[in-house]
Structure 1
Amino acid sequence: MKHIFNKGQNSTKPTLLLLHGTGGNELDLLPLAGMIDDEANVLSVRGNVLENGMPRFFRRLAEGIFDEEDLIFRTKELNEFLDEAAEKYDFDRDNILAIGYSNGANIAASLLFHYQHALKGAILHHPMVPRKGIDLPDLTGKSVFIAAGTNDPICSPMESTELQSLLEKANAKVELHWENRGHQLTSQEVEAAANWYRQYLITK
């Protein structure tokens, strides 16, 4: 997978896995990583799927309707890539924290839904429930921050609270942060995510 790896100054910090939104690329969220933790490793990945020329992490059948077969395949692909990257760049495979926006948040959530040890934690900006009606692995010890918009036309408030509930039922610790905005990534929610992350490091 096309990606950027920036070695951090502190090897005890999580490796930040950056996952862009539809039409983005591996450069998009680098400023975000700097705001969250400028000492951590950064692994920023470009989605392998193109939709009308726009990179994505998995296919969809329509707005808000995922191609589940492709989602499962691409989630497996990304999980295996993380195994390879950890070996190549010599970082702790068991200490990865994903930061995803929109489509990137959805593939990060899918990693949590399908692979117990894929991520240590996640910051999910405007995610949806990746799959419904499946049993999640035991996510004890995982921490998740969800940023959602009360007026988000793509991801309804109901969707955000459902994702929180599903993750909590799988024993993850979840914080749901609301902005009175739409689907855009706001500086306020990034600041809230950074505050959450500082508490996350203290509790680890």
Structure 2
Amino acid sequence: MADLGFTHVFRPGSHPGAPTLLLLHGTGADEYDLLELGQVLVPGAALLSPRGRVDENGANRWFRRLREGVFDVDDVIARAAELADFVRAATAAYGLDPAATAAVGFSNGANMAAATLLLHPGLLRRAALFAVAAPLQGRPIRPVDLSDVSVFVGAGVADTVTPIDQARLLADQLRECSATVQMHEHPGGHGLPPEVLNRARQWFAGAVS
């Protein structure tokens, strides 16, 4: 299998009309980490799961950071462009519907998905973002039309890695671009508790019905 610019796993869908889930792992994980999550969220969906190409002391990431919680925004922008190119190439290579790609990301992967939504409108139609932060720290958000985009955000109010204010800021930024955002705040920390997973499954079921 050609890597199309990224080491990745592709699993064809088994349900006609189901979306392709672009699975974006968190720091230190790899292209296998979210496959089971994708199967649970949308049974029968095609799964496209690349590996982040940034190495941080042996941990896979999607973009560089200057220190904990401080992103290299120039690198975020460059890496989002690389990911967008990969998605387009994979869509063509695997014969996927370009209008049916939804991102699922956790932590660093959710941040990358959010950056891709804001910087490459039209590429993703839906996104489920867990433990996410606003990725373009300190940069003005370019006005783009995301009126056909739906986003689910799951965030923990006790998250010490990604403060809840970051998820709220991202939700506001997406809404300012006319995206439809469903935000679910949970009392936990930097994780994906069962209640949030169930809410996201229900959200996807409504989005694809």
CA displacement 1:2-58 (0-9 Å, x = unmatched): 100000112421100000000000111111011111211100111000100000011
Cα deviation for residue 199 of structure 1 reads 1.1
Aligned to 1:35: 40
Aligned to 1:60: 65
CA displacement 1:151-186 (0-9 Å, x = unmatched): 011222221111111101100000000110011222
Which portions of structure 1, spanning 4 or more consecutive aligned residues, are displaced by more than 3 angstroms? none
Question: Counterparts in 2 of 1:1-204, with a 5 A limit?
Answer: 1-131=6-136, 132-202=139-209
Relative to the length of structure 1, the TM-score reads 0.96
Q: Does the 8 Å CA contact 2:22/2:48 hold for their aligned counterparts?
A: yes
Relative to the length of structure 2, the TM-score reads 0.94
Cα deviation for residue 80 of structure 1 reads 0.3
Matched position secondary structure for 2:102: strand
Q: Does the 8 Å CA contact 1:11/1:41 hold for their aligned counterparts?
A: no
User: Percent identical across equivalent pairs?
Assistant: 39
Separation in 2, partners of 1:78, 1:170 = 21
Matched position secondary structure for 2:196: helix
Aligned to 2:3: none
Name the count of aligned residue pairs. 202
Cα RMSD (Å): 1.0
Separation in 2, partners of 1:179, 1:108 = 21
Cα deviation for residue 108 of structure 1 reads 0.1
Cα deviation for residue 144 of structure 1 reads 0.1
Q: Does the 8 Å CA contact 2:141/2:173 hold for their aligned counterparts?
A: no
Separation in 2, partners of 1:11, 1:96 = 14
